[in-house]
Amino acid sequence: MSVGAEAGDAGPGAAASIVAELRAGLGDACSTDPAILDAARADKSGHRSTTAPLVVVTARSIDDVQRTLRIAHRHRVPVVTRGAGTGLAGGSIASEGEIVLSTVAMDRILEISVADELAVVEPGIINAHLNAALEPHGLWFAPDPASKAISTVGGNIATGAGGLLCAKYGVTREAVLGLRVVLADGTLMSLGHRSVKGVTGLDLTALMIGSEGTLGVIVEATVKLVPLPTGTTWTIGAWFADVQAAATASAAITAARLRPAVMEIIDQRAAEIIGEYLSTAVDAAPGTALGARRGAYLLVQTDGPASEVDAAAARTVIESVGGTAELTSDPREGEALLAVRRAFHPAMEAHGTVLIEDVAVPRSALPRMFAEITRIEGEYGIPIPTVAHAGDGNLHPNFVFEGDTVPDRVWEAAGALFQAALALGGTLTGEHGIGILKKRWLGDELGSEQLDLQRGIKAVFDPLGILNPGKVLT
């Protein structure tokens, strides 16, 4: 019997006793308000649990996290760690008998070291808020998820998040020097280092990144900073007859040894949906005509001392493969174009019910992956508007359907998509994680031996299996 089932079988008397113990140790950090419990049933993936959790603990300190986990460990109650709830794989969704441990109120910047180019932060700090505080120092936390205005650094680390700028500046994994983590029994561990180099023992910091709350609770992070780019930023907007042509251009830009800060593809279906959304939004100025053009869109942005030369070279590549390109150095126009790309997920939410997916392939395989998406659309009769971080081969296909439950045919189409990505040398997820939504396909990529090994590692960190049960390594 699973840990979750044991907690659920404990009965209302035992559940009330656990909540009372949490209240005695944590006071008003605990809530059983129905609205708060209900919110913890869903994230941005569109998935929703069928039942509400037992209680939500909004931790304000490391001590709160430790107290919660000690109580949970003693009673063998499952714990789901949650940040801003912006995840796209169902990894922080909670259900009956589970304690939700929220770290969103732990949002302080503890230190900014200009000399060492690092910051020490609590997990609940919002990406955009951290960078606003760093800007006066001429520094920047480079991972740049499209959800940076609402997502937390702790959540980015837990999922191994990426973003629009990762091809040049790296993903979250490359920006984390050290972590403080509370294990399932309440033990506080300090992992990693403050130095640029550090190879003492096994790299447990790296193991925690992308572990989706299954190994421990991140309560503090030491993150690497980079200097803000100098020079003028140049932005290219280019239209192509179809998305395969846009993908061919992006692969050609990479092959030309150019490294844009941003290189994003928006296919025709996605462009139409974003254009419709922005034309009706209150702050709709940028991109309102996006859907009026036919074809696929490629957004390229260069920065740094060689930005103008790189932009001119990228434009030449684009035009050589049939694209129509416009170039600007106006920072407002450039930011407006980035805002169009960041509007994709809000636009999809407004458009209807979607299954948001996330696969990555070698950059040279992007044209073939887009061809596979077109094939799957036709075979299954399902529209799949797609955007891609073309600079690192990470695609976000979205399956559009009616109703609140993902139909079997959509799951079948998603399975075909995953197999296509794996056949091209790719992976099931580039940045969203496995969570609930992809765990059935995990063995297809890892193989049974590696999957068993990973389950064994989880058992070392969490022998009772109380941390985020039912997610990832089920």
Q: What is the pLDDT of residues 188-225, one digit of tens each?
A: 999 999 999 999 999 999 999 999 999 999 999 999 99
Phi, psi of 225 (to 5 degrees): -115, 155
**Dist. CA 320–CA 260, nearest whole Å:** 18
**Dist. CA 245–CA 318, nearest whole Å:** 9
Give the residue from 78, 243, 240, 202 showing the smallest Cα distance to 457. Answer: 202
Residue ranges of domains in the chain, CATH in brackets? 3-105 (3.30.43.10), 109-227 (3.30.465.10), 234-423 (3.40.462.40)
Q: Examine the pLDDT at 282 and tell me if it is beyond 70.
A: no
Looking at residue 1, its pLDDT comes to 24
Looking at residue 292, its pLDDT comes to 54
Q: Which residue has the tokens 């949650």?
A: 82
Q: For residue 403, what pLDDT band results from cuts at 50, 70 and 90?
A: confident
Give the residue from 223, 420, 403, 234 showing the smallest Cα distance to 313. Answer: 234
Cβ atoms of 464 and 184 within 8 Å: the answer is yes
- Mean pLDDT (whole number) for 214-238: 95
pLDDT in tens, 61-97: 999 999 999 999 999 999 999 999 989 899 999 999 9
Looking at residue 11, its pLDDT comes to 63
**Dist. CA 202–CA 375, nearest whole Å:** 44
Looking at residue 85, its pLDDT comes to 92
Q: Give SS3 for 219.
A: strand
Phi, psi of 226 (to 5 degrees): -130, 155
Cβ atoms of 335 and 262 within 8 Å: the answer is no
CA distances for 13 relative to 16, 211, 307, angstroms: 5, 33, 65
**Dist. CA 277–CA 174, nearest whole Å:** 34
Q: For residue 286, what pLDDT band results from cuts at 50, 70 and 90?
A: very low
Looking at residue 280, its pLDDT comes to 64
**DSSP letter (8 states) at residue 302:** E
**Dist. CA 319–CA 357, nearest whole Å:** 30
pLDDT in tens, 134-183: 999 999 999 878 788 899 999 999 999 988 888 899 899 999 999 999 99
Question: Which stretches of 312-401 are assigned E, i.e. beta strand?
Answer: 324-328, 353-356, 359-360, 386-389, 394-401
Give the residue from 422, 369, 361, 420 showing the smallest Cα distance to 243. Answer: 369
Is residue 35 exposed (0-12), middle (13-18) or buried (19+ Cβ within 10 Å)?
Answer: exposed
Give the residue from 95, 77, 102 showing the smallest Cα distance to 21. Answer: 77
**Dist. CA 232–CA 328, nearest whole Å:** 10
Which residue stretches of 111-203 are H helix? 127-134, 153-159, 166-169
